[in-house]
Amino acid sequence: MSEYDFDHALIAAAFRLAADSGWARVSIADAARAASLSLAEARIRFPNRLALLRRYGQLLDQAALSAAPNEGPVRDRLFDLLMSRFEAMKPHRDGIRALLRYLPTDPLTTLELTCATRRSMRWMLNASGQPTHGLRGALRIKGLVAVWLWTMRAFERDDSEDLASTMATLDTALGRVHGAAVWLSGDRNAAREADDPAEPDASADPA
């Protein structure tokens, strides 16, 4: 079994356990046993649950980046990239819900996921052709993090196979920040329009 397959199997088992018993009761050892994986290798690859969540985020990014579009408007590229991440999360929806319910009780895990989300959104922006350096880049990242978190609320409630509600929410969220070109397009004319006080909703925070 490759390391990639090992990681997938252990992560899937961890989320199944979380769906059944809650994230607080999940251990790496239990997940390895549930997936019939080597405890010794699990110990090396995942010393704790934070390591498992970091690796899961990397796999989600990998799923999105492997199908990154090379052309089209920035908004459409970001839509495709973020929906690819949500599609990759779909098999683990119940376990992810359990994790989200657990987060208010664990500030360390919440901080880790907050930092991981920023790193992931930086990659999504770069994959869409948008630079993320400097103040403008920081604002782009902040805006896309807000889009992701807002859409996560819809994903948490979305039981459909086609993630129709998630897609609709993501489309709306991207639309709400699209006018703020300082986040998304980098186009000077669009940026001036976004700064125009006659457009009060251009930089509305989707959160």
> pLDDT tens digits, residue range 143-199?
999 999 999 999 999 999 999 999 999 999 998 876 655 444 455 444 443 333 333
> pLDDT tens digits, residue range 12-49?
999 999 999 999 999 999 999 999 999 999 999 999 99
Q: How far apart are CA 105 and CA 112, in angstroms?
A: 14
Q: How far apart are CA 105 and CA 150, in angstroms?
A: 21
Using H for helix, E for strand and C for coil, what is the string for 132-185? CCHHHHHHHHHHHHHHHHHHHHHHHHCCCCCCHHHHHHHHHHHHHHHCCCCCCC
> pLDDT tens digits, residue range 97-140?
999 999 999 999 999 999 999 999 999 999 999 999 998 889 99
Q: pTM for this one?
A: 0.84
Is the pLDDT assigned to residue 200 strictly greater than 60?
no
- Mean pLDDT value across residues 68-75: 87
